[in-house]
């Protein structure tokens, strides 16, 4: 089956089984974000960590997003500017904090940490503020252009980048974009220093 065949099968699955299709796509993209951040950090592949991320994505994030986006559409139907802006505001005021909290607490539970709220307490506000730089623009596009039955998958696609950042923050960052960019800058400088001089 070629790429076109896979795409048609995915479209059929999304129409026939929208919930599981969206949740599985979301989880796959979120997990790929974790694998990417491990690669960017230069760490060996930690499949247990990626499995934990996938577990949080399947058991909570994908399902939460599917239900939450449909609830927002029912409460504030349509694509009129006022409805779209209201959905974005609700998403950032309610959905964002819930998703960030569930990620840090869920990962801590799966990692069997003594204090499952420690990462949440340390990194929540920085991560939430970082999300406010990214997610309103994503959701503005989502609520105004993407059909309802694809919104969770679209959020997962955009969540791939967010998951890369979020997993980095959970592993070694502080929840700020600055910590991620500083790490990447230092890594690049170290690579340049190690490269053979001509």
User: What letter does residue 197 receive in the DSSP assignment?
Assistant: P
Distance CA 107, CA 67 (A): 21
Q: What is the pLDDT of residues 146-162, one digit of tens each?
A: 988 788 878 888 888 88
Positive or negative torsion for Cα 29, 51, 180, 122: positive
* Residue 137, pLDDT score: 95
Task: Let me know: does 83 contact 76? Beta carbons within 8 Å.
Answer: yes
Q: For residue range 72-92, what is the model confidence (pLDDT) as tens digits?
A: 999 999 999 999 999 999 999
Q: 102: buried, middle or exposed (CB in 10 Å: 19+, 13-18, 0-12)?
A: middle
Judged against a pLDDT cut of 60, whether residue 198 lies above it is answered with no
Place of tokens 């974790």: 34
Tokens of 78: 């349509």
- Check if the beta carbon of residue 65 is closer than 8 Å to that of residue 155: yes
Determine the Cα–Cα distance for residues 69 and 151; give it in Å rounded to an integer.
7
pTM: 0.83
């Amino acid at each position: 089956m070629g790429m076109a065949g896979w795409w048609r099968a995915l479209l059929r699955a999304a129409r026939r089984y929208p919930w599981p299709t969206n949740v599985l796509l979301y989880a796959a993209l979120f997990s790929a974000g974790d694998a990417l951040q491990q690669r960017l950090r230069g760490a060996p592949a930690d499949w247990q960590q990626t499995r934990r991320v996938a577990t949080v994505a399947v058991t909570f994030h994908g399902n939460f997003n599917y239900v939450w986006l449909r609830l927002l559409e029912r409460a504030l139907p349509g694509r009129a500017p006022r409805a779209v802006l209201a959905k974005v505001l609700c998403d950032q005021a309610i959905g964002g904090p819930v998703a960030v909290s569930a990620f840090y607490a869920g990962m801590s539970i799966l990692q069997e940490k003594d204090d499952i709220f420690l990462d949440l307490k340390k990194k929540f506000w920085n991560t939430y503020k970082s999300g406010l730089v990214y997610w309103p623009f994503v959701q503005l596009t989502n609520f105004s252009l993407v059909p309802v039955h694809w919104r969770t998958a679209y959020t997962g696609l955009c969540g791939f980048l967010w998951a890369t950042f979020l997993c980095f923050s959970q592993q070694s960052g502080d929840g700020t974009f600055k910590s991620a960019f500083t790490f990447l800058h230092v890594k690049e400088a170290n690579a340049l220093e190690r490269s053979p001089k001509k």
